[in-house]
Amino acid sequence: MNVIKRSGEEVVFDSSKIENAVRKANAATDPSNRVEDDFILEITNRVVEKCNSLNRAVSVEEIQDMVENELMSSQIFQVARNYITYRYERALVRKANTTDKQILSLIGRSNEEAKQENSNKNPTVNSTQRDYMAGEVSKDITRRFLLPADIYEAHDKGIIHFHDSDYFAQPMYNCCLVNLEDMLQNGTVISETMIEKPHSFATACNIATQIIAQVASNQYGGQTVTLSHLAPFVDISRQKYRKQVAEEFESTGIETDAEKINAVAEKRLREEIKRGIQTIQYQIITLMTTNGQAPFVTIYMYLDEVDEGQIRDDLALCIEEMLKQRMQGVKNEKGVWITPAFPKLIYVLDEDNVEEGSKYYDLTKLAAECTAKRMVPDYISAKLMRELKGDVYGCMGCRSFLTPDRFTDTGTFGNPAHALNYKEGQHKYYGRFNQGVVTLNLVDIACSSEGDMDKFWEIMNERLDLCHRALQIRHNRLKGTPSDVAPILWQNGAIARLEKGEVIDPLLYNGYSTISLGYAGLAECVYRMLGESHTSEEGRKFGLEVMQAMNDACLKWKKEENIDYSVYGTPIESTTYKFAKCLQERFGVIPHVTDKNYITNSYHVHVTEEIDAFDKLSKESKFQQLSPGGAISYVEVPNMQNNIPAVLELMKHIYNTILYAELNTKSDYCQVCGYDGEIEIKEDDNKKLIWQCPNCGNTDQNKMNVARRTCGYIGTQYWNQGRTQEIKERVLHL
C-alpha cells in the first residue's frame, strides 16, 4: 500500500510514522493520563487495517483523520487533544507557503498526482513541468484571493469541483469552435505576421495547424475545427493543376484534350489532399503547445455542412483521406503503427450516408473500419440533433455543446464578434466558446441526505446555489478582459475581430458563449437513494428528475442574467478519483455507492453493470437529452475489425436513437516483446494497479503504448488509480 504525501509524492506506507506520532502526543500528556505502549500499537494496527480496507493509496490527511477518530472513540481525550493540537500547528506552518513543496516535487519528478493528472501530458518534460509549476501558483492565488472560503472549501471536500483552477488566475475561457473559415478566407495574423488567403489546399492545411497551435496556447480546453472550412481550397488547387497540366502538354507538343488534362490534374490533386491531411495529422501530434501537450483538437466531418455538388464531393475526398490516414495510425519510436490520441474525429450520420445505397455510404463503411481499429471517429446523429437542438453543428473538444444560436432568429444582436464571414439570416457557431465549468457531485448530495428524499432536494437546491455562485465568479473573471490578452482569439478571427483595447464583454451574454453546470455520479446517486440502478423504471424516473432539476436551475439563471447556463456531463478524469476519496472520507464505504476508487461519469450506466450495447444507448439517450451542454455515450466492445457489419448496425442505432456516441475498444503495443494486443491491469505487491504485458510480463510503462478512451477522448499516457480501476472493471456490452 502507498501513501500520498501533501506534495503529491506517492511513497510506500510506513506504519511506524503513525505509531511515532501517537507516542509524541502521549509523551506530551500528563503522566496520569498517558496510555501504555501496547495500546499505542493497538491504535496503530486499527488505522493500518482501515487503510488496507480501502484498497488504494491513502492520503496523509486521511490517515490523520483515522488516528483522531480512533483516539476519540477510545476515550483517550488528552492524548487526542495533544495529537490534534500538534496537527493544527503543523498545518499553520504549511499555510505560510502552499506551493514550494509541490513545485519542488514536480521538478524532482516525484509528484504522482501530477503524473496522473492528465493522461495526455508527460510530466517529466520541461514544458509540462513549467505549465504545472505555473498552475501551482495559480491554484494558490485562486485559493487565497479569488474564491470565497465556502466555495473553495466545497471544492476541497469534493462537494463541487471548480475546474481548471491552475489557469484561473488569468482571464482564459475553456473551449471553442474555431472560426477557421474567416481566418483562411479573409486572412489573419499569427505572431504579428500577416497571413493572407492561401492559394492551395496544402497551404490551407499548413496554416490551419499553425492556427490550432496558437489557439491551444491561449485557452485551456479543447477546440474543434471543421474540414468543411478547408474543402473550398480543394477546387482552388484543382484549377491550378488543370492550368499547369495544360501548359505542360502544350509546351511539350503533346496533343491532348480536356478529359486527359483533367485526369492528370485530378491525380495530382489527390496527392496534394494526401499531403495536406498528413500535415494536419502529424503537425497536431508533434506540436507542443505552451501548456505542455499536443493541441487538444477535434476534427469535425459533416458532409451537409457545405452545399450539394462539387464542394460536397471535395469535402468527401478530404474526409476519406482523413479516415484512411487515421486508420493507418502513426509510428511509435520503434517504427510500429499505433493509435494516436489526437486529433479526435467526429463523423456526422445523415440521410445521405447512413443507409446502404445512399450516396456517401462507402465513407460510412470506411468510418466503421477506422473506429474498429483506432476507436475514432465518434458519431453525431444529424437526425436526433435537429430534433433536440433544431440545427446540426459540432461540439467543442470532446463533448461540450454550444446552445443553439439565437442571434439571427430576431436580428437583434447581429454580429458582436465582428466576424468577416458573418451572414445575416444564417446561424453562427464557429467563433463561439465556453466560459468554464463547475461540477456538482451528485453522490455527495445523496449520501449527505442519508436516503431521505425531502432532505435530498433541500441539499440539492443548496448545492445548486453554491455552483451558481461559483459559475458567476468564472463569468466575472472574464468580464473586462481586453482583446489584447490573446490577439489570435479576440482580434484576428479565431473567435472575434475586436479592436485593440476593446473588451470581450458583449461575447459573454445573449447566448454567444455558454457556461456549464457539470455533474457526475448519477448512477451512484440513484442507487444511494433507491437501492437500485437508474436503468430500472423507478431509477430512471428519479434520475431524470435530478437531471430536470439542474436544467430548471440553468433556465432560471439564464432568464435572470441573460447568460447561457447549460447542463454538462463532465468528462471527469482525475476528479473521479478525488471525488471517490472525498466520499469515502466523509461517508465511509457504502456498497455500490462509495466502494470504488472512482465515481461514474455523468449519467452513464455503471461500468460494472451487465447491459446490451443497443439497450445501453437507448436507455442513456433519455438522460443525454437533459444534458444539452454536452455529453457522450459509449459502448465497450471487443475487437471488431472482423465484424464491420456489427459496427455499422451500431452506427445506425446511434443515428436513430442518440445524439452523440462512440465505440470503445483496445489498441496497445508492448515495445519489449512486440505484443500487439490488450495490455492488462494487475495489482502489484503494494496493491497498486499497474499495466502489464500478458506476453512477456513487462510492467515498464515507458516501454509500452496503451490507448484507452477515458472521458470521451483517447488517453495515451497513464491514469490515476481511480480511473485505472474504472478501466479495469469495464464490462463488454457486445
Residues known to be catalytic = 174-175, 396, 398, 400, 434, 568, 573, 712
Query: Residue by residue, what is the 3-state secondary structure of 65-127?
Result: HHHHHHHHHCCCHHHHHHHHHHHHHHHHHHHCCCCHHHHHHHHCCCEHHHHCCCCCCCCCCHH
Helices of type H across 625-720: 644-657
Amino acid making up residue 148: P
On the 0-12 / 13-18 / 19+ scale of CB atoms within 10 A, 106 is buried
How far is it, in rounded angstroms, from Cα 144 to Cα 48?
A: 34
How far is it, in rounded angstroms, from Cα 493 to Cα 419?
A: 7
Residue 599 CB neighbours (<10 A): 30
Assign 706 to helix, strand or coil.
strand
| Beta bridge mates, 331 | 337
Assign 715 to helix, strand or coil.
strand
Non-local (6+) Cβ contacts of 266 within 8 A are: 238, 241
Of 687, 722, 726, give the one whose Cα is nearest residue 708: 726
User: Strand pairing of 330-331 and 337-338?
Assistant: antiparallel
| Beta bridge mates, 709 | 714
User: Strand pairing of 58-59 and 2-4?
Assistant: parallel
Query: Is the Cα dihedral 524, 528, 532, 535 positive or negative?
Result: negative
How far is it, in rounded angstroms, from Cα 588 to Cα 594?
A: 7
User: Strand pairing of 58-59 and 175-177?
Assistant: unpaired
Answer for the pair 369, 644: CB distance below 8 angstroms, yes or no. Answer: yes
How far is it, in rounded angstroms, from Cα 281 to Cα 140?
A: 37
Distances (CA, A) of 272 to 28, 283, 436: 79, 16, 39
Question: How far from each other are the two terminal CA atoms of the chain, in whole angstroms?
Answer: 35
User: What order do you get walking across the sheet with 58-59 strand by strand?
Assistant: 10-12, 2-4, 58-59
Helices of type H across 119-253: 126-141, 149-156, 180-186, 201-216, 232-252
**CA angle (514, 376, 717) in 5-degree steps:** 85
Non-local (6+) Cβ contacts of 593 within 8 A are: 443, 446, 447, 524, 527, 528, 583
